Structure 1
Amino acid sequence: MDLFGDLPEPTNITNEDPASKDQQPTDFPGEDRLEKRKRDHNPEDSQVDETNKAEKKVCKGLSKIGGYVAARRGEREEMQDAHVLLPDLSSFMQLPAEVSRLAYFAVFDGHGGARASQFAAENLHHTLISKFPKGEVENLDKLVRKCLLDSFRQTDEDFLKKASSQKPAWKDGSTATCVLIVDDALYVANLGDSRAVLCRMAEGDGNERCVTLALSKEHNPTIYEERMRIQRAGGNVRDGRVLGVLEVSRSIGDGQYKRCGVISTPDLRRCQLSQKDKFVMLACDGLFKVFSAEEAVYFVNKLLQDESVERKDGQTLEEGRYEAACQRLASEAVRRGSADNVTVILISIEF
């Protein structure tokens, strides 16, 4: 299943926590702004307000998430993929009053070298942290989207500046697929042909089955809108590539193609996590050259039912299963003949 648009919130979940909705509850309903400002200047009331906020965060009932990664060089001489797993960004920043959890996961698939992917892996989340809304905010969704767009633009500009200062200039580029989890809202920002998919369980014929939902949109120059932008910028598409060379139409880096319509503006998707959601998969195209998204999700879901999986010290059975599934999926991609680098991230979801 391929859903290119914001995924709807599930309507069949019972006992849903209202605090996980997009509209944040106000602590003082019916109070006008003047009275609220007066209260904010009262130290005792401010202390009560902070207590209420803390209680609100505790009562949100957020899902439990975990991150697992597997990377294989494949037949390539160099590993040009990079990845980031940060399940708790609160250790890097002060979260807004409306937010209880902030997590970040990303896969970067480099081409022309590993410098663009490494730069993005090292810097994009720091830029995002610096631009993320702070304090009490209104319209959090709009601000999060703007933060992601600005962070991608800034990361691209910073890398191009560094690349152009080198002798000779770096010509590296990279795809980017990033997942930002704000409480139980999943934001996906992506450039290029790496992907993010969601495994959501659904009832069918009396049994549960896993449904694969696309959370990202591929950017290659054969897509009509992408090709038209490239041609309007004075570039051309030959053999499915920009100027007959570059396979993607959006990327970080690739300075020599920016004048040809290759941009760093990501596609954004938002999905509200539900009790039916099992895991999110992020992977570079090295996986999807030998697996369809549905096959990859099915492969992982089947391994998650393995009772005989070996666990590392301190791991729960569930954690051991996800670790093993992630590693086996990457290895299977290489066994099936993927000559490219293969990087897979699994994000487990448990309510």
Structure 2
Amino acid sequence: MDLFDDLPEPTQTSCSITAAPIKAQPQSTKEGEEEEKGVKRKLDNADSNTARRGADEEEIKKGYVAARRGEREEMQDAHVLLPDMSSFVSALPKQVSRVSYFAVFDGHGGARASRFAAEHLHQNLANKFPTGDTENMDRLIKKCFFDTFRQTDEEFLRKASSQKPVWKDGSTATCMLVVDSMVYVANLGDSRAVLCRMEATPAGDGQRRAMTLALTKEHNPTMYEERMRIQRAGGTVRDGRVLGVLEVSRSFGDGQYKRCGVISSPDLRTFQVTTNDRFFILACDGLFKVFSAEEAVNFVLNILQDKSVEQRVGLTEEEARFEAACQQLASEAVRRGCADNVTVILISVNF
């Protein structure tokens, strides 16, 4: 369900978005990580970025990410989790207390575009982020996103074209920026972000039901607007693909398709977190090839309600359940037959 056109106005309140302070994961095993059939998860969640910005601010706790290589020879996904992005921003506006950033990138034709985006997109975003006592903050942040996506794409294309042979890698992107309680979600391609929101049942019996909100729009060349843009640029769509090859109509990289109408301008949506919001899922299309968005949300909810989840040293009961839900969701995608890379980021909302 996509409710962005008629979301109710939320009440103003402060919240804590929790996620692991894990930066972009290079696809090689390092000290402090474990690898199990393509699983690469940071074991040490300590990071200076988790420092609290004020005594009245809730603590940002541990978070959750899982990656599976599937049947692919190479892990082409990349991800970034920055619960506190303030160290990257020269000076936050006075009206902003905290900025968080989460992203998943699904590479194709290689892992170079996804890794480049994971390394540079948030830094470019931070460099362009509004500073000082700024009016029209929402408009400026939106402009910052569009400028950042364009800049990151241009930088990668310059680097790709300077190589011999030229790099032909591309990557989707789904990025979420949290500015206090405002959420900005920008995406290219077919990776997705969804939100679990708990709402009262119509019966008025005090029970709550889970609603699954789509936070992203897929960019498929078979979609009318995408196909028209590609055709106006002189490209064609065959068998649901650009020139019969590329499955997505917007991406980072893919220099050989830029002249055919493939662009890096994201869809951008904004909303305010409410007290009814439970968690976000950001994931590449590997997950959604075998899960609908509603199935993924219900899968996580079932594990969060499972009293038998094994406790782990250093984790609270709730943290252990979120950790288990994230890992089991990625594993279940592979078990259901997804041969693609699968990366899942699970972000809880705490009030």
Could you tell me the TM-score, scaled by structure 2's length? 0.85
Aligned-partner Cα distance in 1 for 2:71–2:147:
35
Consecutive unaligned residues of structure 2, counting only runs of 5 or more, are 16-52
Q: Are the counterparts in 1 of residues 60 and 83 from structure 2 also a CA contact under 8 Å? A: no
Larger mean CA deviation between 171-180 and 62-71 belongs to 62-71
Aligned to 1:227: 227
Residue 131 to residue 183, structure 1, CA distance change in 2 (3 Å)? same
SS of 1:130 mapped into structure 2: helix
Contact 1:73 1:341 (8 Å CA) reproduced: yes
Per the alignment, residue 23 of structure 2 pairs with none
1:324 matched residue in structure 2:
324
- Structure 1 residue matching 2:103: 3-state secondary structure: strand
Shift of 1:64: 5.8
Deviation, structure 1 residue 247: 0.2
Partner of 1:183: 180
Q: Is the 8 A contact 2:250 2:264 kept in 1?
A: yes
Give the Å deviation of 1:308.
2.1
Q: Which one of 106, 116, 124 corresponds to residue 127 of structure 1? A: 124
Distance in 2 of aligned mates of 1:334 and 1:268: 30
- 1:71 pairs with 57, 67, 71, which one? 67
SS in structure 2 of the partner of residue 201 of structure 1: strand
Residue 162 of structure 2 aligns with which residue?
Answer: 165
Spell out, residue by residue over 1:275-325, the C-alpha distance to the aligned partner (whole angstroms, 9 max, x if none).
000001000000000000000000001101122222332211111111110
Partner of 1:89: 85
| 1:63–1:350 Cα contact (<8 Å) kept | no
SS in 2 for 1:326: helix
Asked if 2 retains the 8 angstrom alpha-carbon contact of 1:69 and 1:346, the reply is yes
Change (3 A) 1:290 1:71: same
Instruction: Report sequence identity in percent.
Output: 72
Does 1:137 pair with 2:115? no
Alpha-carbon offset, residue 350 of structure 1: 1.0
1:60-80 superposed Cα distances (whole Å, 9 cap, x missing partner): x77967531000000111100
1:73-95 per-position Cα deviation (integer Å, ceiling 9, x unaligned): 00111100000000001223332
Post-superposition offset of 1:58: 6.1
The verdict on how the C-alpha distance between 1:269 and 1:6 changes in structure 2, with shifts beyond 3 A counting, is farther
What does residue 47 of structure 1 align with?
none
Mark the CA change 1:350 to 1:113 in structure 2 (over 3 Å): closer, same or farther.
same
Change beyond 3 A, Cα 1:232–1:6: farther
1: CA distance between counterparts of 2:171 and 2:7?
Answer: 27
Partner letter of residue 71 of structure 1? A
Letter in 2 for 1:225: E
Q: Structure 1's 113 and 74: CA in aligned 2 closer, same or farther, altered over 3 A?
A: same
Aligned residues: 310
- Counterpart residue number, 2:286: 286
SS at match of 2:63: strand
Which structure shows the higher helix fraction? 1
> SS of the counterpart of 1:103?
strand
Residue of structure 2 in register with 1:268 after alignment:
268
Alpha carbons of 1:123 and 1:112: their partners in 2 closer, same or farther (altered >3 Å)? same
Measure the CA separation in 1 of the matches of 2:87 and 2:319: 23
Partner of residue 101, structure 2: 104
Larger of the two Rg values belongs to structure: 1
Q: CA RMSD in A?
A: 1.9
